[in-house]
Structure 1
């Protein structure tokens, strides 16, 4: 079973937090939920975000006593789904399962709202991001990228999906290692599949992947992981150092959580958070999240989640200063 020390620590913390979110008689007196819950996922079916939310929700509905019905609502850079939930009745029966894209969309000028347009319920998982090269590339680890760019100004190609997580990843990485954005070529692709194909064809030098998107290619040697943007090494990549081990003070992950429309009562938020926290105590579910999707379970709710989102948005805002969203 793939299990990082952080995962173990946060799972223990989750047990304590779930206990503090026990369903009280007062909350149950409100008779929530009174119907099935609609979980809007602002992406198409089959991706890591879709599957992870479905897996956890199937377990969480056992505690809630109603079905949690996933609704894929892709479009408009994941803002079609988020806007639908934002404008829904704040009664807890419509939720949003999303990640950092909520803040990214505002920073990119796509929408005029961010996390503060919702009631954050709980952080569930984090998928660790990994800078990657094709197997024939001369760069062997992430701490060599800056020198390679300085030796080949204007020639080094980095793939990204405009205004998405990897766009911000590279902006933050360049800032951390001292690379001038004017010295690199950012090549935009519509989706991860196109990026995989481009790196296979050696049309680009570097891409940002994670275990769901790149794990099979790391395993067969097609791609080379250059470092792990996480405080600790991943059990599935034990020989790949963290960026911090390489002298790059940077962590980066895709952080998935549950949100409700603004104004949803706190007792309802607590009931939902407790159900999802209880779901994440399931060891088989933890194993699937970690082994199949290269993610760590990290449950935060209440003020802890609010603080996490504030720090997350501040870091993304700093990275956005180095991004020209018009290009």
Structure 2
């Protein structure tokens, strides 16, 4: 009697579990059923904001629901990432970010990195460009080192603490033979404020790219000093690469999508598929490359996880030379 009762109870439990899984599977199969919030941990107008908005407009055609970008700047881009990390893992709150996730941990700003999220897909890599204002005496990147030597302790470089431009300048100084003790790194909360600071000539140099600086290069407000890529960019055909100027440095910002830990794989796959289809649009590809100085590069699943592992390993090694407190 006890055995029969146990068997009956176990069977009921199994039926209940199966029903629950079936309902969950059905709900996931219907995903999405409402708008998806895409948290962008920077203010409006920067490269990260522009690129994610552009691709998401195309991706939502394949999702059948709107992707709503939400700018959530602050705390060195960790306000937005923490919000998504702690969100309910239902696929309706996602993060659009980049290397700064790992850099924030290396800088001691947060205690989590890529492994605190479910990686969805790598979308683009944006080529970075050292930049100055139009009235600055420096005309090209290979002149920066001499300018610093002539003005030790007075040359100001802008950056968002623990973000990719902070990391970029540390690598640039090393490649160009500049002593970090001879420069001043000035922190700003987002790209928009760096743009304003360079316009006001409060700083000498900033790291931008075509999404954030292209319009200012075109109207002559800012001067691109070189591109951190093996080849010149279509959008800046007259601007030499850093390598052409004798500075052995390639540097890009790798942007991808992340979900809260525990988000169902079926949901991750649905989002990845929609963004993959978005990047197949040739017009979109053309804009990404020609207007935004970026390379469309799609990786999902294990390929993206492997990319992130390699990315974090490289950042960890290079960050040994960075004093994130300055």
TM-score range, shorter chain: 0.7 to 0.9
Aligned to 1:22: none
Aligned to 1:14: none
Aligned to 1:259: 258
Deviation at 1:258, TM superposition (A): 0.6
Q: Distance in 2 between matches of 1:201 and 1:184?
A: 19
Is the CA contact (8 Å cut-off) linking 1:32 and 1:268 kept in structure 2? no
Summarize the Cα distance change of 1:241–1:46 in structure 2 as closer, same or farther, 3 Å threshold.
closer
Summarize the Cα distance change of 1:183–1:242 in structure 2 as closer, same or farther, 3 Å threshold.
same
Summarize the Cα distance change of 1:53–1:222 in structure 2 as closer, same or farther, 3 Å threshold.
closer
SS of residue matched to 1:268: helix
- 1:33 partnered with 2:36: no
Which piece of structure 1 moves more, 162-171 or 71-80? 71-80
CA deviation string 1:55-110 (max 9, x = no partner): 32232222233333333333333222212221233333332111222122212222
Aligned to 2:222: 223
Matches within 5 A, 1:294-313: 294-313=293-312
Summarize the Cα distance change of 1:135–1:304 in structure 2 as closer, same or farther, 3 Å threshold.
same
Aligned to 1:131: 130
Q: Distance in 2 between matches of 1:320 and 1:291?
A: 31
Q: Distance in 2 between matches of 1:227 and 1:295?
A: 15
Aligned to 2:187: 188
SS of residue matched to 1:95: strand
Summarize the Cα distance change of 1:163–1:233 in structure 2 as closer, same or farther, 3 Å threshold.
same
Aligned to 1:171: 170
Extract unaligned runs of 5+ from structure 1: 1-26
CA deviation string 1:198-232 (max 9, x = no partner): 43444433221212222223223332211101222
Aligned to 1:212: 211
Q: Distance in 1 between matches of 2:153 and 2:44?
A: 37
Deviation at 1:130, TM superposition (A): 0.5
Extract unaligned runs of 5+ from structure 2: 1-24
Deviation at 1:135, TM superposition (A): 3.1
CA deviation string 1:142-176 (max 9, x = no partner): 22322332343323222223222211110111122
Q: Which has the larger radius of gyration?
A: 2
CA deviation string 1:247-290 (max 9, x = no partner): 32222222211111223333432222111100111123223334
Is the CA contact (8 Å cut-off) linking 1:33 and 1:66 kept in structure 2? no
Deviation at 1:30, TM superposition (A): 4.8
Summarize the Cα distance change of 1:279–1:250 in structure 2 as closer, same or farther, 3 Å threshold.
same
Q: Distance in 1 between matches of 2:187 and 2:302?
A: 37
Is the CA contact (8 Å cut-off) linking 1:33 and 1:93 kept in structure 2? no
Q: Distance in 2 between matches of 1:30 and 1:137?
A: 56
TM-score (norm 2): 0.82
Q: Distance in 1 between matches of 2:264 and 2:290?
A: 36
SS of residue matched to 1:321: helix
Aligned to 1:106: 105
TM-score (norm 1): 0.82
Looking at both structures, which has the greater relative contact order when contacts are Cα pairs under 8 Å and sequence separation is at least 6? 1
